[in-house]
């Protein structure tokens, strides 16, 4: 079975600090896609960053970057210069199909002023 | 529309009643997905549509759950004889076509269903 595990239920950091959220996954597939989504109180899931498994280069989107370790099946999200607006639930997700995402349980991130 | 629209935003219903949740995808998106998010958990896949057909209904938790999509646009998720364990946020997403999940979906803001 394919699973996604987020081991940090909640994290809290000061504004402007850097924070890393952890995610591990389990699959026997060789080609797949990984995602980090943000869910603010509005409930709408917002795509933060995605990674294609066949690409060794780690994805980067402005202050957001990932550390993708394929052999270890690890996909962590680093948020640099954290801002109050980054406060949200963050979900790691995985897919190798053409329609279904498999999700972790989420990490609640609180940015303190 | 410009985004994925879901209604109602919140719904409180009595145990045993039927409810209908509506999703209006982005205009022109042929693929539509329903997920359920229970408290403290990630999203659970329910069903997806390509056009008006549902190739995979395997995520529907019981025969009390059904969904349809008409005109390749709006979809309705129906829960009959609601139970307290049905309380959750129901999220809908769409993409231009099946297969584009690798680029990520566009989600609506969900319907929070509370069964009392």
Q: How confident is the model at residue B1 (pLDDT cuts 50, 70, 90)?
A: low
| Per-residue pLDDT at A112 exceeds 90 | yes
User: How far from chain centre, in Å, is Cα B3?
Assistant: 15
- Residue A92 to chain B, least CA–CA distance (Å): 9
> In B80-110, which positions are buried (b, 16+ CB within 10 angstroms) versus exposed (e)?
eebeeebbbbbbbbbbeebebbbebbbbbbb
Per-residue pLDDT at B98 = 73
Taking all residues of chain A, what is their mean pLDDT, rounded to a whole number? Answer: 94
Rounded CA Rg of chain A: 14
Residue A38 near residue A46 (C-beta atoms within 8 A)? yes
| Per-residue pLDDT at B40 exceeds 80 | no
- Torsion angle in degrees (nearest 10) through CA of A11, B42, B106, A43: -60
Task: Give contacts of A4 with chain B, Cβ < 8 Å.
Answer: 42
Q: Across the interface, do A52 and B102 touch by the CB < 8 Å criterion?
A: yes
Classify A83 as helix, strand or coil: coil
Residue B75's Cβ-count burial label (10 Å; 0-12, 13-18, 19+) is buried
Q: Does A84 touch chain B (CB under 8 A)?
A: no
Enumerate residues 23 to 82 of chain A having a beta carbon within 8 A of any beta carbon in chain B: 33, 35, 37, 42-47, 50, 52
* Cα separation, A9 vs A52, whole angstroms: 25
Q: How confident is the model at residue A72 (pLDDT cuts 50, 70, 90)?
A: very high
A11, β-bridge pairs = A109
Please give the interface size between A and B, counted as residue pairs whose CB atoms are below 8 Å apart: 67
pLDDT tens, position by position, A28-58 = 988 899 999 999 988 999 999 999 999 889 9
Task: Give contacts of B6 with chain A, Cβ < 8 Å.
Answer: none
Q: Across the interface, do B48 and A105 touch by the CB < 8 Å criterion?
A: no
* Cα separation, B19 vs B13, whole angstroms: 8
Q: Nearest Cβ partner of B48 from A46, A52, A99?
A: A99
Q: Across the interface, do B107 and A103 touch by the CB < 8 Å criterion?
A: no
- Residue A86 to chain B, least CA–CA distance (Å): 18
């Amino acid at each position: 079975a394919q699973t996604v595990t987020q081991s940090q239920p909640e994290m809290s950091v000061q504004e402007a600090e850097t924070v890393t959220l952890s995610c591990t996954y389990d699959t026997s597939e060789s080609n797949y896609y990984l995602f980090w989504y943000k869910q603010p109180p509005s409930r709408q899931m917002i795509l933060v960053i995605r990674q294609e498994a066949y690409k060794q280069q780690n994805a980067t989107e402005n202050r957001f970057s990932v550390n993708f370790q394929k052999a270890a099946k690890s996909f962590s999200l680093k948020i640099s210069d954290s801002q109050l607006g980054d406060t949200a639930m963050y979900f790691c997700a995985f897919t190798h199909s053409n329609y279904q995402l498999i999700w972790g349980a989420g990490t609640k991130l609180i940015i303190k002023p | 529309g410009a985004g994925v629209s879901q209604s109602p935003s919140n719904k409180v219903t009595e145990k045993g009643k039927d409810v209908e949740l509506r999703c209006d995808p982005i205009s022109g998106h042929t693929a539509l997905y329903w997920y359920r998010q229970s408290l403290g958990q990630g999203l659970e896949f329910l069903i997806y549509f390509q056009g008006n057909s549902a190739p995979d209904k395997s995520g529907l938790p019981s025969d009390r759950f059904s969904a349809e999509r008409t005109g390749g646009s709006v979809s309705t998720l129906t829960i009959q004889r609601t139970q307290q364990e049905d309380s959750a946020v129901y999220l809908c997403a769409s993409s231009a076509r099946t297969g584009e999940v690798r680029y990520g979906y566009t989600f609506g803001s969900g319907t929070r269903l509370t069964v009392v």
